[in-house]
């Protein structure tokens, strides 16, 4: 076969003449900006519109928690970008970097391992925020985020999985742990997730013979004195509190998550809640791409002028949660909500077109219409424009009506409408949609005193200590004996993998410990194909066996 060795260096959208508007991000800000630009464009060749997003769909965030309870279908809360934006060029790629000087954006590779360079004349930053657990130990490894569609589907699958396992579990401690669900964050997002999760697990538990509903614990952690205290008035916040508690959600106020392990959520007070399900809706951090840009920022957000262009730049615009837009009244900043992002998107699009046509720009002047949050099954709270406050069934009907109306596209309106109707007739969806079988190499975090594995367990992973220390403990005839102390850079767990045995000692953390986890399949593949890798393991195994002061097998972990 004759193949060319070298292919063209980069792909690019370089095209002469026509102005190019590039929008980064496919949330409310990005999508509505593109929609508005499509409306404003007079001729096909007036300017190009390009939108970059890592997914090919737009997530209608307010309805995402409903995916958990299955009251709407998995795909009903998202809309394909292509259908929303028929006249926009879509690039479904990751953003690698932005070169402001050369007015270009570098995108990740596709099937061809070449970067894609997107040139622009106007750049709209609409990258939102990210749920980033890097600042808290253990969260990245053991907490579930709740931000996008994949998170929602993964959470649903996980919930079904723990319920199925709880149904056949005979160890009461493990069963309690499986049936304890912890949600961190008492803002709108955390409250909605807690409400929908609580509805779902309680509805499903009715159908599972081995689970008593009284065994279910849903715990909502909030750092403030009242849930939704930053979002709502005292009265409504108290109402939300009451409704959730009546439905069985245990609310822990003045509680903050400190860390997480495979078996527990650890609070700042030192209290430890044993659970296999920890969801964190905090913290929201700036997108790393925004962080990397040399633009004027405050609290990690890009500062904009009243016209929504970025201060001290030309042709760069910022909208939505990644932008810091001063309120028209001059006090404070526009809050990070969908209604503001949509209005900002429209103004930014208008001003880009005004700039291209040398017209006058307009300033941002939206004050917000109010706030709403769902509390799950037929209950919600709302605080509307002009001070009107609503709660309960009426607020819930209003919540559904407004968001249904705002759903983009007739097809979604139809699907969601039908799903809501069906939800009244048929019980929730129980199917666990497992797609990924392996996870590659992962990390795990443990707290002092916690076992990584126990004597007698089946061995399915090798562990490499990144930091911290652990004891190898053996129980014989009811007495414990510490066989060794393991430290950073050492590994353990390889004996059970190489010889297909069960663990014959427990490894228990002496300090907080982070480990790299290499699963059986991956470990075997490396051991059997990399001679050096195998040799280094064999040496350690030999040493551990030879220098063991006890019986021959005693140091095998």
| Residues 173-212 contacting its own copies, CB under 8 A | 174, 178, 207-209
- Residues 486 to 505: which contact its own copies by CB under 8 A? 489, 491
From the list 130, 295, 341, 464, which residue makes contact with its own copies (rule: CB under 8 A)? Answer: 464
How many CA atoms lie less than 13 Å away from 295 in the CB half-sphere? Answer: 31
Question: With respect to its own copies, which residue has the nearer C-beta, 208 or 226?
Answer: 208
> Is 92 near its own copies (CB under 8 A)?
yes
Alpha helices in 98-169 (DSSP H): 139-142, 149-168
**Region binding its own copies by CB under 8 A among candidate stretches 23-31, 167-175, 179-187, 304-312:** 167-175
Query: For residues 300 and 291, what is the distance between their CA atoms, to the nearest angstrom?
Result: 7
Of residues 41 through 60, those in contact with its own copies by CB under 8 A are 55-57
Find where tokens 């979002």 sit: 231
Window 336 to 395, contacts with its own copies (CB under 8 A):
none
The answer to the question of residue 71 lying near its own copies (CB under 8 A) is no
Q: Show the binding pattern over residues 517-556: x = contacts its own copies (CB under 8 A), - = does not.
A: -xx-xx--xx--xxxxx--x--------------------
Distance, CA of 228 to CA of 379 (rounded, Å): 15
φ and ψ at residue 19, rounded to 5 degrees? -65, 145
The least CB distance from residue 413 to its own copies, in Å, is: 10
Is position 111 an interface residue for its own copies (rule: CB under 8 A)?
Answer: yes
Say whether residue 8 binds its own copies (CB under 8 A).
Answer: yes
Measured distance CA(179)–CA(193) in Å, rounded: 16
Nearest alpha-carbon partner for 187 in 371, 429, 446: 371
Identified binder of its own copies from the candidate list 332, 386, 440, 549, rule CB under 8 A = 440
Best CA proximity match to 183, nearest among 120, 117, 260 = 260
> With binding defined as CB under 8 A, does residue 473 bind its own copies?
yes
Helix (H) and strand (E) counts in the chain: 15, 34
Q: How far apart are CA 507 and CA 475, in angstroms?
A: 11
Judge contact between 316 and 309, C-beta under 8 A: yes
Determine the distance from the C-alpha atom of residue 211 to the mean position of all C-alpha atoms in its chain, rounded to a whole number: 29
- Return the residues of window 408-427 that contact its own copies according to CB under 8 A: 410-411, 414-415, 418, 422, 425-427
Binding flag, residue 482, its own copies (CB under 8 A)? no
Q: For 527-538, b where at least 16 C-beta lie within 10 A, e where not — what string?
A: beeeeeeeeebe
CB of 103 to its own copies, least distance (A): 19
Does 16 sit near its own copies (CB under 8 A)? no
Using CB under 8 A as the binding rule, whether residue 453 contacts its own copies is answered as yes
Residue (257 or 462) nearer to its own copies, CB: 462
# of chain residues touching its own copies (CB under 8 A): 110
Please, which residue, 205 or 219, has the CB nearer to its own copies?
A: 205
Is the Cβ–Cβ distance between 197 and 218 less than 8 Å? Answer: yes
């Amino acid at each position: 076969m004759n193949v060319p060795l070298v292919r063209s260096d980069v792909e690019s959208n370089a095209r002469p003449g026509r102005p190019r508007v590039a929008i980064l991000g496919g949330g409310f800000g990005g999508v509505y900006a593109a929609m508005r630009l499509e409306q404003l464009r007079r001729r096909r060749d007036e300017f190009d519109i390009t939108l970059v997003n890592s997914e090919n769909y737009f997530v209608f965030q307010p309805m995402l928690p409903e995916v958990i309870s299955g009251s709407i279908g998995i795909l009903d809360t998202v809309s394909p970008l292509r259908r929303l934006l028929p006249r926009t060029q879509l690039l479904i790629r990751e953003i690698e970097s932005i070169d402001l000087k050369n007015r270009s954006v570098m995108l990740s590779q596709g099937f061809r391992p070449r970067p894609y360079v997107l040139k622009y004349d106007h750049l709209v930053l609409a990258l939102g925020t990210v749920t980033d657990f890097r600042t808290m130990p253990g969260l990245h490894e053991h907490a579930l985020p709740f931000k996008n569609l994949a998170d929602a589907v993964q959470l649903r699958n996980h919930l079904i999985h723990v319920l199925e396992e709880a149904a056949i579990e005979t160890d009461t401690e493990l069963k309690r742990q499986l049936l304890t669900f912890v949600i961190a964050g008492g803002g709108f997002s955390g409250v909605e997730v807690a409400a929908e999760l609580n509805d779902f697990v309680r509805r499903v538990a009715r159908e599972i013979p081995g689970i008593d509903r009284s065994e279910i614990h849903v715990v909502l952690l909030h750092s403030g004195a009242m849930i939704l205290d930053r979002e709502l008035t005292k009265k409504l916040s108290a109402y939300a509190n009451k409704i959730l508690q009546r439905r069985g959600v245990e609310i822990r106020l003045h509680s903050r998550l400190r860390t997480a392990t495979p078996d527990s959520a650890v609070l700042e007070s030192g209290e430890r809640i044993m659970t296999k399900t920890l969801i964190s809706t905090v913290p929201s951090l700036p997108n790393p791409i925004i962080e990397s840009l040399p633009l004027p920022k405050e609290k990690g957000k890009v500062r904009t002028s009243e016209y929504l262009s970025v201060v001290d730049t030309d042709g760069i615009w910022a909208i939505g949660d990644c932008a810091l837009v001063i309120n028209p009244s001059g006090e404070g900043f526009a809050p990070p909500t969908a209604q503001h992002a949509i209005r900002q998107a429209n103004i930014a699009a208008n001003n880009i077109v005004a700039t291209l046509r040398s017209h006058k720009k307009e300033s941002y002047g939206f004050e917000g219409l109010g706030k709403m949050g769902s509390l799950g099954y037929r209950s919600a709270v709302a605080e509307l424009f002009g001070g009107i406050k609503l709660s309960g069934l009426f607020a819930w009907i209003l919540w559904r009506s407004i968001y249904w109306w705002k759903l983009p596209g007739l097809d979604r309106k139809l699907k969601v409408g039908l799903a809501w109707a069906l939800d009244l007739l048929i019980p929730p969806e129980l199917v666990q949609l497992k797609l990924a079988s392996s996870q590659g190499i992962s990390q795990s975090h443990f707290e002092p005193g916690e076992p990584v594995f126990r004597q007698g367990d089946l061995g399915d992973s090798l562990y490499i200590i990144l930091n911290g220390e652990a004891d190898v403990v053996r129980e014989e005839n009811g007495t414990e004996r510490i066989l060794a102390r393991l430290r950073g850079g050492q590994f353990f767990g390889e004996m059970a993998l190489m010889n297909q045995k069960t663990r014959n000692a427990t490894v228990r953390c002496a300090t907080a410990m982070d480990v790299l986890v290499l699963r059986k399949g991956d470990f075997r593949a490396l051991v059997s194909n990399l001679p050096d890798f195998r040799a280094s393991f064999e040496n350690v195994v030999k040493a551990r066996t030879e220098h063991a002061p006890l019986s021959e097998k005693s140091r095998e972990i």
